Amino acid sequence: MTKTCRELVEIYLEKDHPENPEKLTFTGVGERDVYNITAPFEDEGELVIAGRVEARDTEHSEVYFFVNRDGVWTPREGAPVLELQDPFVTRIAGELVLGGVEIFPHPTEEGALGWRTGFYKGSSVKTLQPFFKGPDGMKDLRLAELKDESVAVLTRPQGEKGGRGKIGFAHLPSLKELTIDVVEEAPLLDGQFAEGEWGGANELHLLRNGLLGVLGHIASFDEEGNRHYYPMVFALEPETGKHSEIQLIAIRDDFLAGASKRPDLVDVVFSGGLVRKMDGTADFYAGISDAEAHKITINDPFNQFEK
């Protein structure tokens, strides 16, 4: 049976709690918030975080690239600023691939916004150039290079096919085969989200045994209309599309107290990225309550799938 968010939380509460909660400090963006960050990634010999930069009263955001200067994350000199939300990064065919959500005026609903996932690639942050846009209305489109240099595509259709949002999967020989049709026709993974709940992939990890470790989120509304977002993981077999059950890796109470963009977003943890470490733990980076960026140390959730 597909487990609800509430059931997954009950299972999670029986596990060991994460350690070392930390709120990341950002500067150089005025009074705007920085949230929904990536994990740090290496670029030209330096660790960089991409983050969503946004005023508290708007959805119009920019993605900045930050570097750590004496414990404070500062905009990187010479780096581009992109009109995107919710950045993510990976590497395919030796190139840096960065994506995020583009927003635009809705084509039929006056005053409303539409969205899609836009992708950039280049040898470094400074050389990023756009190369693909996903279907209108789709967030959480993710790519990963597999052991044989083929490409995994995780999608998140909504509406008639996906309801509030379900995860689909396609397997391509190379990035050159990526098209709108491929994304729209990707079969959905079975049994992941209960009725009325939704989720998506945030970051993909190629595991040592060839499985794909998926860091994502699962979400629901409560009776008052408040949103509840939980970070989760599962493993996917690229050749067959078979996958493990969703497991939560944290809840909002594991992080430090902080600000919220709106009252209905207090219980939102949006998975940013995971840095796996040799000691069996992982640093988990997340957007908190659509207003801040935090980090905690957890047991590496992908170790179980590599045994």
At residue 264, the pLDDT reads 97
The letter for the amino acid at 59 is E
Q: The pTM is what? A: 0.96
Whether pLDDT at 111 is above 90: no
At residue 106, the pLDDT reads 85
At residue 107, the pLDDT reads 83
Residues 249, 297: Cα–Cα separation, whole Å: 10
pLDDT interval class at 113 (50, 70, 90): confident
At residue 55, the pLDDT reads 97
Mean pLDDT of 72-85: 97
Tokens of residue 230, six digits: 């939980």
Whether pLDDT at 57 is above 90: yes
At residue 197, the pLDDT reads 97
224, burial (CB in 10 Å: exposed 0-12, middle 13-18, buried 19+): exposed
Whether pLDDT at 1 is above 90: no
Angle at 155 between CA 187 and CA 246, to 5 degrees: 85
Mean pLDDT of 136-145: 97
Whether pLDDT at 56 is above 90: yes
H/E element holding 75? strand 72-75
Residues 93, 174: Cα–Cα separation, whole Å: 9
Residues 159, 164: Cα–Cα separation, whole Å: 6
At residue 151, the pLDDT reads 98
DSSP calls for 212-253: EEEEEEEEEE-TTS-EEEEEEEEEE-TTT--BPPPEE---GG
Whether pLDDT at 240 is above 90: yes
At residue 19, the pLDDT reads 81
Residues 106, 118: Cα–Cα separation, whole Å: 16
What's the pLDDT tens digit per position in 3-52?
Answer: 999 999 999 999 888 889 999 999 999 999 999 999 999 999 999 999 99
**Structural domains of the chain ordered from first start:** 5-306 (2.115.10.20)
Using the 8-state DSSP alphabet, how is residue 306 labeled?
Answer: H
Contact partners, residue 183, CB within 8 Å, separation at least 6? 134, 135, 138, 141, 153, 155, 168, 170
Query: What is the average pLDDT value for the chain, to the nearest integer?
Result: 96
At residue 120, the pLDDT reads 98
What's the pLDDT tens digit per position in 191-237?
Answer: 999 999 999 999 999 999 999 999 999 999 999 999 999 999 999 99
Whether pLDDT at 307 is above 90: no
What's the pLDDT tens digit per position in 274-292?
Answer: 999 999 999 999 999 999 9
At residue 16, the pLDDT reads 84
Q: Among 103, 83, 100, which residue's Cα sits nearest to residue 143?
A: 100
297, burial (CB in 10 Å: exposed 0-12, middle 13-18, buried 19+): middle
If phi over 0 gives left and psi between -120 and 50 gives alpha, with beta otherwise, what is residue 292?
A: beta
At residue 108, the pLDDT reads 84
Query: Residue for token digits 């949230």?
Result: 35
At residue 62, the pLDDT reads 98
